[in-house]
Each structure stands twice: as C-alpha cells, then as structure tokens.
Structure 1
Amino acid sequence: MECAEAPGYRSALPKAKVREQTVGNGSDYVVQAPSGSLLSAAAGSFPTVTGVKTEKSAGVAAFGDGGILGSNEYTLQVNTNFDSSSAACNGYSGCFAWQQYVMSTNTPVSLTSNQLTNKTEVFIEYWLINYGVDNGSNICPSGFIDGGADAEGPGDDCVQNTKATVIANGQLPITDLASLKLSGSAKAGGTDAATVTFDTEAYTATVSDSLTDIASGWTQAEFNVLGNAGGSVADFNTGSSVTVNVAVTDGSTTAPTCISPSKDDGTTGETNNLTLGKCTATGGATPSIQFTESH
C-alpha cells in the first residue's frame, strides 16, 4: 500500500444563499442519529448505478470557478456536522469543529504547487472553523494550517489534511462508482479513520481524534459523489441514476432520520448536477438512510 504526503486539497465551505439547483452546498439528504446518540462511524455506498457513462468536474462561479476540473475528476465525501461543543475549540465562542473523510481522484501535491499527483487517494481533512480571534498571525493550534480569517466570525479557519493513502495511479473512472465505498469513523481519545473499499481492497488514512474531538459531537453525516475541491460541481451525463446508501453506527438499532435538504444541514460546498428523489430510513442491525438522485 503506497503512502503519500498530505495533499494540497481544499474543500469549500457551503454558501447556501447562492447555491444553484444542484445536490450539495447545503442541499443534500443528511442522516441524523437518534436523540441522545452519537455516531461513531458512517459508511457510504452506491447500491445501484445505472446509465452513468461520463462525469466532468466544472467550476462554479459562486466559488470562483475553483477546484480540480476535467473528466473523471470527482470526490467521495463523508462529512460530519459542524460541532460547536468541541473541546478542541478551546472555549472560543462561535468556533466549530468539522471533519471530512475524502476520496479524491486527483489532488495538488502541496498548497504551494499547481502540480497534480494524478493519483486517486483517500485522506481526512479536519477543520476548526472561526477559531480564536484573528490578529494577523498564525493562531491555530499545533497540527493545523491557518487558512485565514473566517468569512463570518472574528477568528481564523484552521485546517489540515492527513497524509494520503494511494488507491490507484490515475483517476478512477466514474464508471467504477458502484465498486466504491467510503467510510469514516471517530473514536474519542483514539484514532479517526477514512477507509475506501475498491472491489475487495481497503485503503485507510488516520488522524488523532483529539485534533477536532469530533467523536464527542458527531450527530449527522453527509455522503455523496461531488466535484473535486474548491466548490466545483460533478456534471453527470443525461440518463445517469444513482442510489445512495449511508449506514451509521450509533450504538442502537433505531432507524435514523433523513434530514430534508431544505434544512441546510449539508456541510460541504462541492456539488453534483443530479436531482434528489425520495429518502427512506431503516433501523435494525445496520441503521441507514437511502435515497436516489438522477439526471
């Protein structure tokens, strides 16, 4: 299994007020744990994929046309809720912890280089949003890069990626979507992990949970196939239809809740051009939600 340095990938924070008619950017089904329960894991998969022939990541004007653009450029993302109770925020009011478990089909080799890895990788991007009070210097805790002043608060957005694990050389074609699964887990006082299963092989990247303390406040999970970084959109061909399943572990057999897109609970700025269908929730040994999306 090949390891790689922390990639120069950056997701975009959602801008719900300017979202377009796409899935993502605050308009997505989100799985909600039962009241009083916390998620320790979420696993996303695509039980049924029909008519998918092509996909192209394209820039979105509201996000400055950013991202890694082109054919078979996309991400799978399992995203947590924004957690305002995280101990990692060190008591700063308005600070949120956020964690993304990401598979990207291409990433910059670093934040200071436009060179791309041309490899499909899995990693974790972890955030402390609106941390501290911006004073023009790096105020982020150890283990984070200072991403600059937060758009809405007095603090800075602190972010970092784990080292990546390489899944494949080149971009996995979108026609492999049904063979891909992405799961994220979090353990208080332990290790968080992102795992991609491709066919029968598993590829994992890890980080200490103490950096975000997300395990202590993880109540929702979002999963989908989206554009590749920077608020981009994954454009699928006409006739595409995808069933999305998000299975969760919360210590119970109670059915979770499908949170409606109108609630703006999705936590990433990347999108796709598919239209959401109905969402259903199921309890039992593997509580989950399932929904369709098509073009």
Structure 2
Amino acid sequence: MQASTRLLFASCFMGLLHVPAALAAPTATPAWTNEEAMMSPAEVQARTAWRETMAHQPTPAEGCFHANFPDTQWQTDVCKTLTRRVHPIPHKILFGATETTGNGYDYALRSSSLISKAVGSFPQVTGVTSEQGVGVASFGGGGILGPNEYSLQINSNYNATTSVCGGRSGCTVWQQFVYATDYETQGQAAVFMQYWLIGYGSSCPSGWMSGGGSDCYRNSNAVSAPDVPATQLANVKLTGSATANGNDTITFTNNGTAYSVSAKDSVVKLATVWKDAEFNVVGNAGGSSANFNSGSSITVKVAATNGSTAAPTCAANAGSTGETNNLNLGSCSTAGGSTPSITFTESN
C-alpha cells in the first residue's frame, strides 16, 4: 500500500510539473484535406507500398532522418532535445476502475521468442471526424490537451530486467516508441523513444530524470514531423526495432513522408528482453486520454519480426502505457507468417 500511494503521488506531481499550462489549452483545429482522396488509384497503391518499404528500411547510422516519396534513401535531419514529459505506466492496480482502452486494458502482441521489430498500423478507420486530448484525474489531469492532441505508441513489456538495472532488486526496463502531436511547437509532432528504469530507486543514474516514485526515465533525441489529423490515421505506420549490440530505431510514415530516429540499444538493452508489443492511439503524455467522436471505429494491427512464423498470442488486459482513449475493445484475431500479427477493433 505504501508503494502504491507513493506512485500515485509522484505520477500526479510529474503530470502537473512537466506540462506547461499553455500546452494544455485547447487550440483551433486546422482545416485538413485528405491528399490521397485526390490521387489516382495507382498513386495511392504506390504510396502504400512505399510506406511499407520505409517501415522496414534501416537507417544508415545513429541520428535523425527523413525521406520523401518515392525516394527510399534516408536523408540526415536535425536532432532535437525534448521537453521533459512522462508517458507513464498504468495505474489500474491503484484505482481498479475499468478503462476503455489503455492503462493496462489493451491487447498486446505476445511472443514466445524475442521481438526485434514491431509495426503498428490502422488498416481501417471509419466514422472519425474529431479527436480531443483530455486530462485524466487519476494521473493529475496532465498532458498536451486539446483538439487533435494524441500520441501513437509502441510499448514493450516492463516485466524483465537487464544489466542496466545494475542488479537492483525489483528494477525492470521499459521502452516506448512514440509519435506525439504538438510536442514542442504548435503544428509539429515529435518522433522519439522514451526509456524507463522501473523501480530503480530514489536516486536516478546520471542523465536520467525521476519519473515518479522509484522510476527513472530519459528520452532519445527527436525528429520533428508534421501533425497528422486523427481523421487520417489510416495513412500512418509506426515501427519500433531493437538490435542487440546495435541500434534501436523508431520510424513514422504518413502518406509520402517518413521520419526516423536511431539510438544505441544499450540504453536499456531492450533487444534482450522484448516479448510484448502494444500499439495504439492514446493520449499525449501525462496519462491523458485521446477522446474520439461518437461513432468512431478503428482497426488496429500489430505485426512483429520475431524469428518465427507461428501466430502470436493476443494478450488481453495487457499493454504497458498509462495513456488511454475512449474506445471500447472488440474482438482480437491472430495470424502467422513472415511477420506474425494481431488485429483488433475498438469503437464507441
């Protein structure tokens, strides 16, 4: 009970500390057009194939990169340092209330072998006309809030330890691959990785910040990408990969653009423990929620590279992010093959 109370207080404090009030104010939703609606079927097909290619295209080195259709070669981009904002672990054990999706009530792809890559996409999106980021009281009401404020996350399991924990009892590692709207500048999203040492202790290692209680976190560098309206989620893909003794990489693709960041796997050594992959659209930092208009329906797909062709497990009441959305989970199916996958629906 003492640990639970400590985590509650610290998470609420962090949500209030790291989210400027200016970012929490609702902003006007810009007028967006769906570019692909004006393209020929052949061009739509070509861009779809290009996004799939770029989702698996390795970067040439550590750093930040971008590419534009139809080019498949990464170009060096500017790396940025991010404002400190947490994307916390679930509070479901503390509060017990059933959420819609997220906060530990999600589907996750569970693999019996190590995952080296996960690709998240939304094969079908219907009825979505608006989305609003809203604060959640149990997390202190923090986050980047307002119209079209959300994040896309691929989240690992956080139930395993690596040598980065230094043998500390109860310490586990966690890694998130994040695309987040309006993260530093209005109209510009950030693409980055957030690393965690869960249960590390009261004093964090050099270069790490307190994430509340005994947890520590840090961010990779980030690359800027355009804000994508939630009405166009069907056009995006998010990829996270981890290579032992190599680099971990996040890649975000939308329509005819791609953005990527690579950094050393040694930050938490995810490649040695990665067996769960959660992907979804949720609130933008601080335990917030992405609330969609009534009548929204989204199909979510998570595909993994794990050295197997067997169908993975679709783990229920799973997932590791504390952020949520207001959609209700439907059924989940699995498929084997070169990239085993799970597919599920969520709607309201």
Assess same fold via TM > 0.5.
yes
For residue 161 of structure 1, the aligned residue among 186, 199, 219 is: 219
Q: Choose 1 or 2 for highest CA Rg.
A: 2
* 2:157 matches 1:122: no
- Are the aligned partners of 2:162 and 2:269 in contact in 1 as well (CA < 8 Å)? yes
* 2:225 matches 1:147: no
Separation in structure 1 between the aligned mates of residue 126 and residue 262 of structure 2, nearest angstrom: 33
Separation in structure 2 between the aligned mates of residue 146 and residue 175 of structure 1, nearest angstrom: 35
Separation in structure 1 between the aligned mates of residue 273 and residue 163 of structure 2, nearest angstrom: 10
Separation in structure 2 between the aligned mates of residue 218 and residue 250 of structure 1, nearest angstrom: 10
Separation in structure 2 between the aligned mates of residue 176 and residue 105 of structure 1, nearest angstrom: 13
Q: Which runs of 5+ in 1 are unaligned?
A: 110-115, 151-155
**Quick one: structure 1 residues 84 and 286, their matched pair in 2 at CA, closer, same or farther if it must change by over 3 Å?**
closer
Q: Which runs of 5+ in 2 are unaligned?
A: 1-76
Equivalent positions of 1:56-75 (< 5 A) are: 56-75=132-151
Report SS of the residue matched to 1:105: strand
The residue aligned with 2:175 is 99
Shift of 1:118: 4.1
- Are the aligned partners of 1:7 and 1:161 in contact in 2 as well (CA < 8 Å)? no
Separation in structure 2 between the aligned mates of residue 286 and residue 193 of structure 1, nearest angstrom: 18
For residue 239 of structure 1, the aligned residue among 295, 301, 310 is: 295
Shift of 1:20: 4.1
The residue aligned with 2:100 is 22
The residue aligned with 1:280 is 333
Aligned length: 270
Equivalent positions of 1:177-192 (< 5 A) are: 177-192=233-248
Report SS of the residue matched to 2:333: strand
Shift of 1:260: 1.2
What value does the CA root-mean-square deviation take over the aligned residues?
1.4
Question: Which deviations, in whole Å up to 9, do the C-alpha atoms of 1:38-97 show, x marking residues without a partner?
Answer: 000111000000111100000111111111110000000000000423111111010010
Separation in structure 2 between the aligned mates of residue 85 and residue 21 of structure 1, nearest angstrom: 28
The residue identity in structure 1 corresponding to 2:218 is Q
Report SS of the residue matched to 1:131: coil
Report SS of the residue matched to 1:184: strand
**Quick one: structure 1 residues 73 and 225, their matched pair in 2 at CA, closer, same or farther if it must change by over 3 Å?**
same
- Are the aligned partners of 1:83 and 1:218 in contact in 2 as well (CA < 8 Å)? no
The residue aligned with 1:252 is 308
Separation in structure 1 between the aligned mates of residue 273 and residue 105 of structure 2, nearest angstrom: 22
Separation in structure 1 between the aligned mates of residue 175 and residue 207 of structure 2, nearest angstrom: 14
The residue identity in structure 1 corresponding to 2:84 is G
The residue identity in structure 1 corresponding to 2:256 is T
Aligned identity (percent) is 50
Separation in structure 2 between the aligned mates of residue 279 and residue 70 of structure 1, nearest angstrom: 30
The residue aligned with 2:266 is 210
Shift of 1:12: 1.9
Report SS of the residue matched to 2:258: strand
- Are the aligned partners of 1:83 and 1:214 in contact in 2 as well (CA < 8 Å)? no
Separation in structure 2 between the aligned mates of residue 142 and residue 190 of structure 1, nearest angstrom: 22
* 2:47 matches 1:47: no
The residue identity in structure 2 corresponding to 1:173 is P
The residue identity in structure 1 corresponding to 2:209 is I
Question: Which deviations, in whole Å up to 9, do the C-alpha atoms of 1:18-39 show, x marking residues without a partner?
Answer: 24431000000011002xx100
The residue aligned with 2:152 is 76
Shift of 1:201: 2.1
The residue identity in structure 1 corresponding to 2:105 is S
Separation in structure 1 between the aligned mates of residue 286 and residue 347 of structure 2, nearest angstrom: 23
Shift of 1:145: 2.2
The residue identity in structure 1 corresponding to 2:294 is T
**TM-score w.r.t. length of structure 1:** 0.88
- Are the aligned partners of 2:86 and 2:211 in contact in 1 as well (CA < 8 Å)? no
- Are the aligned partners of 1:84 and 1:94 in contact in 2 as well (CA < 8 Å)? no
- Are the aligned partners of 1:76 and 1:182 in contact in 2 as well (CA < 8 Å)? yes
Separation in structure 2 between the aligned mates of residue 96 and residue 140 of structure 1, nearest angstrom: 14
**Quick one: structure 1 residues 16 and 222, their matched pair in 2 at CA, closer, same or farther if it must change by over 3 Å?**
same
The residue aligned with 1:153 is none
Separation in structure 2 between the aligned mates of residue 268 and residue 69 of structure 1, nearest angstrom: 17
Shift of 1:144: 1.9
Separation in structure 2 between the aligned mates of residue 97 and residue 76 of structure 1, nearest angstrom: 20
Shift of 1:129: 1.2
Relative contact order higher in (CA < 8 Å, ≥ 6 apart): 1
